[in-house]
Amino acid sequence: MTDEQSTNLHLPLADTSCWEDTTVLSPADYLIVGAGITGINAAISIKAHAPAARVIVLDRGSWGEGASFRNAGFACLGSPTELLADLQDGQDDLVWHLVEMRHRGLQQLIRRVRPGAMELTRCGGTEFFSRDEPARWEQTLDQLSMLDHHLKQITGRKEPHFIPTQSDGGFRNGFGQILIADEARIHPGKMMMRLHEMARSLGVMILGGVAITGWTNTGSGIDVQTSTGHVWHTRRLGLATNGFTRRLMPELEVVPARNQVFLTQPIRGIAWDRCFHAHQGYIYARRVGEQLLIGGARHIDPIGETTDVPGTTPEIETYLLDYLNRHFPVLGGTCFVKRWSGTLGVGSKKIPVIREVGQNIFAAVRLGGMGVAIGTLVGEQLSEMMLNS
């Protein structure tokens, strides 16, 4: 061995094999950050239009750490008080445009994922008004036919969407409720698993445990840096990072909003089946088999819940347990056996950010509390930008 050869033995070696460089790490045509409903739908739509393209989805979580696997699973267009609160901002066209997006998005989701595969149950919904809310009840009733008119125009439905009834519906301390006809619940985990399977079957490579830390535009494309130290080269980059976006692009107006969720132990003979909404959508509940899921209430701690750090707090847990005991037809002593949180992406406007954010870089983020409804559509729009730029 010559001196030169022996020195070469001590040169740093690349930490990847030539086999990895030419497979896992080989350049992408389209690289998407975020394996939630938006990112995976974008990948599926790209493959539908460009089957030969190399499409990679990277996520820092093992299977996605965002809201898509952690939400309540309501397939809904918005409850009456939620829509009225949105209309108060004076941007009526925007509100109805969003409702239309929800309607179209849900239709697209159902075309992509068979209802049975995500346990879609057309259970209807109810907006509940407690005895402390007679004024809110009256104000909502005054506006109900206006809301119904707009919803019918959007959905083409002939029968009313909203049916007020002053019965307590079996809930305690109730003043009235508005039944929501066209609403369903799904199993978000099964929806996401089906979307992941579909993407993989089309040849999309989905890798978990890889956080994107930054990127460099090289002129011929983009080098994407990651927490693992590996760099992927791609022609086009798509950000579907929703509530975590500000860690990558603080200049985009996307604010994280934590949402806490709690699950009771099984309750024998739950008498109601509908999706439950109260207080402008801030409180929601549904059945999960014989268990009851209740969540939200971020309005009681808006500052504390403006975070993308996961976790639950005693303050919100106590509030929701108290709410459940005051209003739900369950015997006392109910306790939570499971708790988790998810991160929403919100902002001063409720509309998502869907646009080019740099040369060959696109974002589809800020889906608020309606990503089950609009995620498929927003993913499709991300794919169109990435394909057609």
Ligand X SMILES: Cc1cc2nc3c(=O)[nH]c(=O)nc-3n(C[C@H](O)[C@H](O)[C@H](O)COP(=O)(O)OP(=O)(O)OC[C@H]3O[C@@H](n4cnc5c(N)ncnc54)[C@H](O)[C@@H]3O)c2cc1C
Binding site for ligand X (CB under 6 A): 33-39, 58-61, 64-68, 70-74, 211-212, 240-244, 248, 259, 261, 295, 342-344, 367, 369-373, 375
Q: Which is nearer to ligand X, 124 or 175 (CB)?
A: 124
- The values of phi and psi at residue 348, to 5°, are -65, -30
Classified as helix, coil or strand, 2 is: coil
Residue 131 CB, shortest distance to ligand X, in Å, is 26
Q: Which is nearer to ligand X, 73 or 174 (CB)?
A: 73
Which of 97-126 are b and which e, b meaning 16 or more Cβ less than 10 Å from the residue's Cβ?
Answer: ebbbbbbbbbebbbebbeeebbebbebbbb
Residue 179 CB, shortest distance to ligand X, in Å, is 18
Contact 149, 126 (CB under 8 A): no
Q: Which is nearer to ligand X, 137 or 363 (CB)?
A: 363
Q: How many CB atoms neighbour CB 257 within 10 A?
A: 21
Residue 381 CB, shortest distance to ligand X, in Å, is 12
Q: Which is nearer to ligand X, 58 or 386 (CB)?
A: 58
How many angstroms separate the CA atoms of 319 and 376, rounded? 33
Residue 243 CB, shortest distance to ligand X, in Å, is 6
How many angstroms separate the CA atoms of 352 and 388, rounded? 20
Contact 124, 197 (CB under 8 A): no
Q: Which is nearer to ligand X, 68 or 126 (CB)?
A: 68
Residue 244 CB, shortest distance to ligand X, in Å, is 4
Residue 231 CB, shortest distance to ligand X, in Å, is 14
Residue 203, phi-psi category: left (phi > 0), alpha (psi -120 to 50), beta (remainder): left
Q: Which is nearer to ligand X, 67 or 137 (CB)?
A: 67
